[in-house]
Amino acid sequence: MTLLPFDPTIWALLVPAASALLFALLRNWRLAAQLNVLASFLSFALVLCLLATPRKEPGRFLLVDDLNEVFLILNAFVGFTTSLFSAGYIQHEITAGKLTPRFLRFYHAMYQLLLFGMTLALFANNIGILWAAVEMATLTTVLMVGIYRTPEAIEASWKYMMLSSVAIALALFGTTLTYIAARQAVGEGAEAMRWSALFSHAGALDPSLLNLAFLFILLGYGTKVGLVPLHAWLPDAHAEGPTPISAVLSGLLLNVALYSVIRFKMLLAGNPHVLSAGPILIGLGLLSVLFASFMLYHRRDIKRLFGYSSIEHMGIITFAFGLGNPLANFAGLLHMALHSLTKSGIFFLVGHISQAKGTQKIAEIRGLTETHPFLGWGLLAGTVAIIGMPPFGIFLSEFLIVSSGFSVHPWIILLFLLGLLVAFSGLLLRVSGMAFGKPTGRQEPVRAIPWPFLIHILCVLAAGIFLPKAVVGWFRQIALLLR
C-alpha cells in the first residue's frame, strides 16, 4: 500500500522540465532566480518521497532501486543548495556587468534542463534513454560553459563540445552493441534495452559483443567522468564557465556518467564468459589519481586547480569500484557522496572569492583570512576535508579503500597512496598561500550566502564522526549488489 497519493517518480521529472520551459519565457531574472530555488527544493522533496514509497516493479522506461536512489537524493540535494548559491552569485555578475538579463533567462532555463537530464538518466530503465539523457545534460553544460561569451569561455565550450561529440558517438556505439548482444536472448525491440531484462538474462548475452560494448561504453562515458587520458575538457570547463556550473559538474554530472559505467559493469559481472571490468577500472582510476595529483602543483587558476582535484577524486572512486569487493564498493559510494558535498561546497566559496578579488589567478589571491574571514577559513576547512584529513568523512572513505585493497594489491595500493600524498601536499600548499599572508589585490565586499557551504561541510564532518546505522546498512546493501 502506497504512503503517498501521487507517484513521486513522475513528478520529480515533471518539475524540472516544466520549470525549464517557464524560465525560458520569464523575463524577470530576479523572480526566475527565486523560482529556481523553489523548483530545485521541490525536486529534492519529491526525490525524498521515494523513501516513503514502496518499491515498485521496474517499469517499461523508469526504474527505482537502491543504487539509483543514492544518486538521485545526492543529485537533488546538491542541485538545491547550488541554486541557493547561484541566486546570490548571479546577482553579483549582473551588477558587475559580466552577464545580461537576457542571458539569465537562458541560464535558469538551462539549469533546470540540466537537472532534468541528470534525473532522467538516473531513473532510466532503458539504455537508450540513459544515453539520450546523459547527452542532454552534457550538451546543456556545453552551452552554459560559454555563457560569458569571452574568447576563453567560447574556446572552452567549443573544446568541451568537440570531445563530448566523440564521446557521444562512442557511447552510442557501445549502447547499440549491447542491444545487439541482448537481442537473441531477450528479444527484439525495447525489451532488449531494459536494464531489468538485461540483468535477468546477463548470462545468455553474447560475450564477445558484450566485451566490445563495454570498451566503447567506458571510452564514451569515461570521457564524461573525466578519467585520464579522457579528461582534457574538464579543467577548461571549470575555469571558464560560471561557478554554479562548476559545482554541478564536479558534484553531480561526473557522478551520473560514472553511474552509467557502474550499471554496465554490473551487467558484465552477470556473465561468466566476459572480461573482468575491475582491472581496467583500477588502471584508469590509478592513472587519474597520479596524473591529477602532480598536475595540482602547476595550476595558476583557482577553479582549474579544483578541476584537477575533481579528476583525482573521480579516479579514487573509479579505483574503489574497480577493486570490487564489498568493502571497496561501500567506500566508493561513501567517497562519491562526500566528494560531491565537499567539492560543490568549495566551489561555492571559490565563486565568491573570484568575485571579491576580481580574479581567479592564485598568485593574486592572498590573505583571505584577513580580508574575507568566512571565505578564507571556509576554503581552508574545505581543503582540509577534500584532502582526507580527519575528522572529515573523506578520511574514512579513503582509509576503507586502502584497507580493502592492501592485502590483494599491495604495490598498487602503495602507488595509490603516493598519489594521495602528492595531492595532499599540492592542494595544501596552494590554498595556504591564498588563505594566509599579506593581503593583495582587490578587497571588495561580497555578500556570500553561507548556508549552502556550511550545510555541506557539516554533513562531511558528521560523516567522519558518526555514520548513522541506516546509512551504513543502505550503502552496505548496495555494495553487495555492485559486483
pLDDT value of position 1: 38
| pLDDT confidence of residue 381 | 96
Strands (E) in 47-206, as ranges, are none
What's residue 452's pLDDT?
92
What pLDDT sits at residue 43?
A: 95
Residue carrying C-alpha cell 581543503:
383
What pLDDT is stored for residue 6 in this prediction? 66
What whole-number distance in Å separates Cα of residue 383 and Cα of residue 425? 11
Judging by beta carbons within 10 Å of its beta carbon (0-12, 13-18, 19+), is residue 438 exposed, middle or buried? exposed
How far apart, in whole angstroms, are the C-alpha atoms of residue 102 and residue 464?
A: 44
Q: Write the pLDDT tens digit of every residue in 280-322.
A: 999 999 999 999 999 998 888 999 999 999 999 999 999 999 9
What is the C-alpha separation between 230 and 226, in angstroms, rounded? 6
Q: Concatenated DSSP letters for 59-103?
A: -SSB---HHHHHHHHHHHHHHHHHHHHHHHHHHHHHHTTSS-HHH
State the pLDDT confidence band at 481, using cuts at 50, 70 and 90. confident
Global model pTM greater than 0.85: yes
Residue 421: all three cell numbers together = 600524498
Q: What are phi and psi of 126, to 5 degrees?
A: -150, 125
Q: Enter the C-alpha cell of residue 214.
A: 563495454
Grid cell in block for residue 307: 578541476
81 in Cβ contact with 455 (< 8 Å): yes
Q: Give the sign of the dihedral formed by CA 179, CA 184, CA 187, CA 189.
A: positive
